[in-house]
Every structure is written in structure tokens, then in C-alpha cells.
Homo-oligomer: A and B are copies of this chain.
Amino acid sequence: MDRTAGIIVIGNEILSGKVVDTNSPFLTRELRSLGVTVRRILTVPDELDEIAVAVAEFQERYDLVFTSGGVGPTHDDVTMEGVARGLNRKVIRHPAIEGRIREYFKEKANEARLKMAEVPEGAELIVDGRLGFPTIKCENIYILPGIPEILEQKFQAIRDRFAASPYFLRVIYTKDGEGTIAEHLNTTLVAFPELLLGSYPKIGDPEYAVKLTLESKDEGYVEQAMAHLLALLSRDSVVRTE
């Protein structure tokens, strides 16, 4: 099964350069290892309309959508309302989450904390015994927090549901630069048009000049393409393969 995904990172702290986004690289690596193809990563500010537009577009284009950030108790946490707006839903205070917050905070369950019980109407709560708070899912959108430790915990708790067919990867490191090997890459793609072929030059590395990645969800196909390309490259230029 092939599945596509889009990631929406929500946060002024990323766009103002205060914080480097580590959540989308984490999600991207995890999804790839599951065989899911990430098609877009978008960072938007903590603004309702920006979130709503992104959610509406991603929800339609991709099988899976992940949002990161903007789910806390403060003024700049507007993801739930943004997702709801993007899906033309209302925001409701979910009784199960409200009960959990009131139980945990007792008399300290103020309006700010209760804001964390607000979700798009019709949202699904994914409860996991290992985590204190459910993960919110709405249509194909998984709403994850911005704090990396919690995002990672939450994703690990639900990751099994995203398994798709895996990618098979082979790698060639070559001493020849891209200008020298480009024609061989083109020839290989003519013979193997479905191959995912990446060419990544590395500056100042004494070991190699270009890392080539060959990928497919068909293991035989990537092996045949690998043999084809290796036969075209000059033997001296190939440092090693993986």
C-alpha cells in the first residue's frame, strides 16, 4: 500500500528563527521508514487563517496529515480552532478531556487549562495508556504538540497504524563530480523511469564527491537499476556502495 503524507508545522518561534524545527525531520524519517511518502512540509504562523488554509489543502491532497504545535493553553495556541476552520467544523469542549483536566488539576482547572479540552467537533480521541493525554485525530489529520519530547512519544504510540509498503534503498559514493556522471544518471533513468534517483554532492569531503541514492518500493527493480548504473560509472570512481 502506498500512502502520502503532508506535515504542517505551526509556530511563530520557527518562522522568527528562535527555535529550529526538529519535529518535521523526526516525522519525516519515521514516516519514510514506514514506507509513507512525505510530499510537503509547510511551516505557518500561529494564525487561524493560515492554519485553516493549509489544513484544507493538505487534508484533500494527502492520505495522512500531521500538524505540530499550537495546542497548549496560551493565546498563541490556535491550532485546534485553525484545524476546525479548515474542515468547516465548530470547536467544542470535549467532555472526556475536560473531565481528565478537572480530575488532574482539581481547583486549579482554570480557563486556560480547560482550553486544552477544546477540539474540532467530531474529533476522535486516540487513548494510549502510556500517555497522560489522548492524541486528537480529525478526519485524516493527526494533531500533535510542538514540544519535541511529547510529539515523539505521541507519534511512537500511534506509529503502527501508518505502516505502508517499504522503500528499498541502495547507495553509491563516487569520487567523480555531478558534471562527470550526469549523463550516466540520465541513461539509467531512461532504462528505469520509475527509479527514485538522488544525487547529492558533498563539498570538501576527502572520501567522496557525490552520494547517489537509488530507491524503489520494488526491491528487484532497484537492484537491477543499481547494476545498470554501476556498469556505467568508471570503476575507479566508485568509492563504496551500501
Residues 1-30 (chain A) with a chain B CB within 8 angstroms: 9, 12-21, 24-25, 28-30
For this chain, the copies found in one complex come to 2
- Residues of the B chain whose Cβ atoms lie less than 8 Å from the Cβ of A149: 203-204
A41 touches B38 (CB 8 A): no
Specify the chain B residue showing the minimal Cβ separation from A43: B41
What separation, in Å, do the CA atoms of A44 and B45 have in the docked complex? 18
Shortest beta-carbon distance from A137 to chain B in Å = 23
Most chain B beta-carbon neighbours within 10 Å: one of A15, A24, A72: A15
Specify the chain B residue showing the minimal Cβ separation from A29: B17
B45 touches A39 (CB 8 A): yes
What separation, in Å, do the CA atoms of A18 and B170 have in the docked complex? 12
Q: Of the candidates B16, B75, B181, which one forms a contact with A182 in the assembled complex, judged by CB atoms under 8 Å apart?
A: B75
Q: Given that A40-B43, A41-B42, A149-B203 are known contacts, is A178 also in contact with B73, CB under 8 Å in the complex? A: yes
User: Interface segment, A83-91, A110-118, A234-242?
Assistant: A110-118
What separation, in Å, do the CA atoms of A18 and B73 have in the docked complex? 35
A12 touches B198 (CB 8 A): yes
Q: Is there a chain B Cβ closer than 8 Å to A183's Cβ?
A: yes
What separation, in Å, do the CA atoms of A31 and B14 have in the docked complex? 12
B13 touches A200 (CB 8 A): yes
Q: Given that A72-B199, A76-B197, A199-B74 are known contacts, is A112 also in contact with B182, CB under 8 Å in the complex? A: yes
Q: Given that A75-B182, A179-B105, A182-B73 are known contacts, is A14 also in contact with B43, CB under 8 Å in the complex? A: no
- Residues of the B chain whose Cβ atoms lie less than 8 Å from the Cβ of A198: 12-13, 16, 18, 76
Q: Of the candidates B44, B76, B108, B167, which one forms a contact with A199 in the assembled complex, judged by CB atoms under 8 Å apart?
A: B76
Could you list 23 A-B pairs, sorted by A, with CB under 8 Å? A12-B198, A13-B198, A15-B39, A17-B38, A19-B200, A39-B44, A39-B45, A42-B43, A72-B199, A73-B178, A74-B182, A75-B182, A75-B186, A75-B199, A76-B198, A76-B199, A110-B179, A110-B182, A110-B183, A112-B180, A147-B203, A149-B203, A149-B204
Can you add 15 more A-B contacts, CB < 8 Å, to A21-B25, A75-B185, A150-B203?
A15-B37, A16-B28, A17-B25, A17-B30, A19-B200, A20-B25, A40-B43, A41-B43, A73-B179, A73-B182, A74-B178, A75-B182, A112-B180, A147-B201, A149-B203
